[in-house]
Structure 1
Amino acid sequence: MRIGIIIGRIGGVDGVALETEKWIDILKKLGHEVFILSGEFESWQMDYEHHTLFPALSFFSAEAEWEQRKAFFEPDKDPGILLDHVERWSEMIEKRMLEWIHNKKIEVLLSENASALPCQLSMGVAIKKLIQRTGLPIVTHDHDFHWERGERYLSVHPEVNSYVDDNFPLLLPGVKHAVINTFGVETFKNRFGIDALLVPNVMDFNKVYGVPTEENQFFLKDVGVKKDEIGLLQVTRIVRRKGIETAISLIEKLHDKKLKLVITGNNNDDENKEYYNELIDQIHDLNLSRQIIFASHKVLDHKDLSDVYAHGRACTYFSTYEGFGNAFVEAVLAKKPIFVNNYKPVYMQDIGNKGFDTVMIEDSNLTNDKVQQMADIIYDPVRCREIGAYNFEIGKKYFSYEVLEDKLNELFTF
């Protein structure tokens, strides 16, 4: 089949973009031809036959930013101004999507979180109008939902909240929903009476990953970790739900100047750098400026992540909330021990119950006992390797490309 993917951005290191690339790999392996319509191709070698840039779909386009501000942050007194704009702008986007479908002879669509989370209002509404107009079969890959994000997608205007509910997620007859966790399956069943298919996030366990090479041997040195020092890895973006303040607290509690925390992600998705500035204050107050390293300038795209993992001793992953947890599976693939918070609503029922050997804390609480368990692992390289090898085999069983292939075979049968 000729499958058309609609996505806000691709080629970066956010979970939606990373997982979409894996779906593309498997869909091609299954014999499908894949076309992409995206607002941004971040680190991506574009093939102009199959890849179409449509800047209006970007989360950072002027119209998308304006919509978010007027819907959720700085609303006007009259919500009709916003809603009228979304209706008009989504019609323009739908028209462009129709041209793309016609030109590329698209037979089935895949909406990558665009029909689940209202982070790009007009794009999601346009997709709904597109399906209503064309009747094209569509799979929506739903990573997370607005009701899971607290007040982030809550408007002061009931009319806006109703509009969001009407359009996100996409609830039209015949739509196939793929969700990334058990909570999503339960939510669709309980809220909408719909059977969604659980498709976990995966990694390619047949590919060499996180292994020291001549090319990456100086990665840690280049960001400021000396040969006699130990690097702990926080391989996430800088957003509040990643719990980076807990990882910084761990460094303080371990009382070892030779331990350094390497934070790989940028703060582009941190509103007004509010959370980043809180971390900076914490680092200053704890006098840890020589032990906390921000290294996003060395991690330009996901291809660099393998080099990041190659020389770290262990990974911190103290998220409070995740739709799934790509960084967890990455660490498993790289055979690195993981220190994890029992993040909601996913960790125990979708990952932790598989038997991984981790040090897990509850509610971001670094008890003395848990800190000691982490220290015992950090300072025992042999045990680190044993844990890494053990977790790798479990990850391969539950979160491999082979698992994804079975799921996509089921989804893309129309």
Structure 2
Amino acid sequence: MANIGFIQHRLGRTDGVSLEVDKFRAVLERNGHTVHYCAGNDDVPGGQCIPELYPFHPITQRILMNATRELTDYDSPAALMREVREHADRIKPGFLRFIRDNRLDLVFPNNLLSVGYNLAGMLALGEAIRETGVRTVCHNHDFWWEDSGEVYPTCPEVVTFFEEHAPPVAPNVRHLVINRIAQAELRRRKGVESRVVPNVFDFDQPAWVVDDFNADFRAAVGLRPGDLFFLQATRILDRKGVELAIDVIAELNRPERRRRLESAPLYDGRRFGPGDRIVLVCAGYVEGIGLRGGYVQALVDKAAELGVDVVWCGERVKHGRGRDEHGKVYALWDAYVGADMVTYPSVWEGWGNQLIEAVFARLPVLLFEYPVYVSDLRDAGFRVASLGDVQGPRDERGLVTVAPAALRTATEQVMRSLQDADARHEAVEHNVERARARYSYEALERILDEVLAESGVRLQEGP
């Protein structure tokens, strides 16, 4: 059996990378391997913490902002790159200890060597991999060059740095990507072949249901019994397109549609009355990396202008259940249990974790067909309320729009999900069947068996 290490800026959170690392860990451990975590935060018990890896470490954040937003705190690009070198020298001993003390047979860096959130960490880890010769599989969820709106190199020196180090090319390094667009672009830019490993989900786990812990979730976030609950489960970040969910709810709130909602029982037999609300519940945390400064306020202002109720509860929803000084901390899946609909209007995603979570939760989904959905997921045949795949011009706040016709079409599809119980049931069961066939742990196990064998490690040990 092998000792395997996972390395990332942060782990044990509700972001897509953290969730996928946990899934890899589950598959590896059930096949007898030992898994170790190394990150900049200490959310995962037993993991190694290198504080400088965390994006909000003071020096790390200063480098990040000056390298990818605006160069203001250094006299020159050369001064910035000197600090990258000095910071890397502080970080690298931690990586060497992690690899050597745990006698790692294989390491899986996740995004640290492909996205420009931590230049010093990228440099330090690349050097540690070369110096130790440890077999490495880079799980590249995102790349610095992608049109995600998160990384803008501020000078040619940063571009050169990324081109050299992100991601590394070496005999002991293999690469995984999570979509076909990334696979093609990595081949074009670096001449490197990679394997597409889609995000997966444990479809054999017990269904998410109301229990004694989460029964009060709706009330805890301020919802009344008759309110319609639209769940935005992603982090709050520009590319998540939350403004499109606000647009759809504004359409639902038009008097003629409210009259239709009030005219008959909803899909679950509830009555929606004149005093009931349609509420967008944002259960993800506000992202501090790559977030345009005015985005959240722009959402708040737009929702107020359109009369849309929005609840921000990311501080109460974490990776797992618990309690803090303010009371209960709910797991992300607790939020799904009480929802009527999931909104997933992202204009860019590396894959689509919250989409598959919604499918497992047997909830209908409002979706903008972002590029990777079109290239990698559309052919699965999911039935969704679609906002189309074409963005309109940005509005005066810099927020995403879609054509009015696309907005009306998606809103009518949402109406049907809320009112037609049979159609809703048929759609969500169809989606579960399609997702289970393609994106289960069993599918990941088959892929990992091949990937690890290519690296000299067997996933399933023989007798």
TM-score per shorter chain, which class?
Answer: over 0.9
* 445, 457, 460: which one aligns with 1:405: 445
Residue 27 of structure 1 corresponds to: 28
**Residue 48 (structure 2) pairs with residue 55 (structure 1):** no
Whether contact under 8 Å (1:248, 1:261) holds in the other structure is yes
Residue 341 of structure 1 corresponds to: 368
**Cα distance, 1:102–1:373 mapped onto 2, change above 3 Å:** closer
- d(CA) in 1 for partners of 2:220 and 2:152? 43
Query: Any gaps of 5 or more consecutive residues in structure 2?
Result: 259-275, 322-330, 391-401, 457-463
Secondary structure (helix, strand or coil) at the match of 1:261 reads strand
- 1:212 CA drift (Å): 2.5
Residues 27-53 of structure 1 deviation map (CA, whole Å, 9 limit, x = unaligned): 1122211111111133x3x13xxx211
* 278, 287, 295: which one aligns with 2:298: 278
- 1:85 CA drift (Å): 1.6
**Residue 155 (structure 2) pairs with residue 179 (structure 1):** no
- 1:77 CA drift (Å): 4.3
Residues 61-101 of structure 1 deviation map (CA, whole Å, 9 limit, x = unaligned): 11210111221233134211111121222123222211222
**Residue 142 (structure 2) pairs with residue 144 (structure 1):** yes
- d(CA) in 1 for partners of 2:121 and 2:407? 45
* 315, 322, 337: which one aligns with 1:310: 337
- d(CA) in 2 for partners of 1:262 and 1:71? 34
- Report the identity percentage: 29
Deviates more, 1:221-230 or 1:138-147: 221-230
Residues 216-273 of structure 1 deviation map (CA, whole Å, 9 limit, x = unaligned): 2221122122212221111111101111101011111112453222111121426475
* 299, 309, 323: which one aligns with 2:317: 299
**Cα distance, 1:198–1:150 mapped onto 2, change above 3 Å:** closer
**Cα distance, 1:214–1:302 mapped onto 2, change above 3 Å:** closer
Whether contact under 8 Å (1:5, 1:34) holds in the other structure is yes
- d(CA) in 1 for partners of 2:10 and 2:148? 24
- d(CA) in 1 for partners of 2:92 and 2:106? 16
Whether contact under 8 Å (1:336, 1:387) holds in the other structure is no
Output the TM-score relative to the length of structure 2.
Answer: 0.84
Residues 340-391 of structure 1 deviation map (CA, whole Å, 9 limit, x = unaligned): 10112x1022112101111212234443233112111122334323222211
Residue 97 of structure 1 corresponds to: 95
* 276, 282, 288: which one aligns with 1:263: 282
Whether contact under 8 Å (2:345, 2:366) holds in the other structure is yes
**Residue 170 (structure 2) pairs with residue 168 (structure 1):** no
- d(CA) in 1 for partners of 2:409 and 2:96? 59
**Residue 423 (structure 2) pairs with residue 383 (structure 1):** yes
AA in 2 matched with 1:53:
C
**Residue 307 (structure 2) pairs with residue 287 (structure 1):** yes
**Residue 434 (structure 2) pairs with residue 394 (structure 1):** yes
Matched ranges for 1:214-253 at <5 A: 214-253=212-251
Secondary structure (helix, strand or coil) at the match of 1:265 reads coil
- d(CA) in 2 for partners of 1:347 and 1:226? 34
- d(CA) in 2 for partners of 1:69 and 1:273? 12
Whether contact under 8 Å (2:114, 2:140) holds in the other structure is yes
AA in 1 matched with 2:347:
T
**Residue 410 (structure 2) pairs with residue 370 (structure 1):** yes
Secondary structure (helix, strand or coil) at the match of 2:152 reads coil
- 1:157 CA drift (Å): 1.9
Deviates more, 1:74-83 or 1:108-117: 74-83
What CA RMSD, in Å, does the superposition of the two structures yield over aligned residues?
1.8
Output the TM-score relative to the length of structure 1.
Answer: 0.93
- d(CA) in 2 for partners of 1:379 and 1:137? 54
**Residue 370 (structure 2) pairs with residue 352 (structure 1):** no
- d(CA) in 2 for partners of 1:151 and 1:5? 26
Whether contact under 8 Å (1:116, 1:144) holds in the other structure is yes
- d(CA) in 1 for partners of 2:54 and 2:195? 27
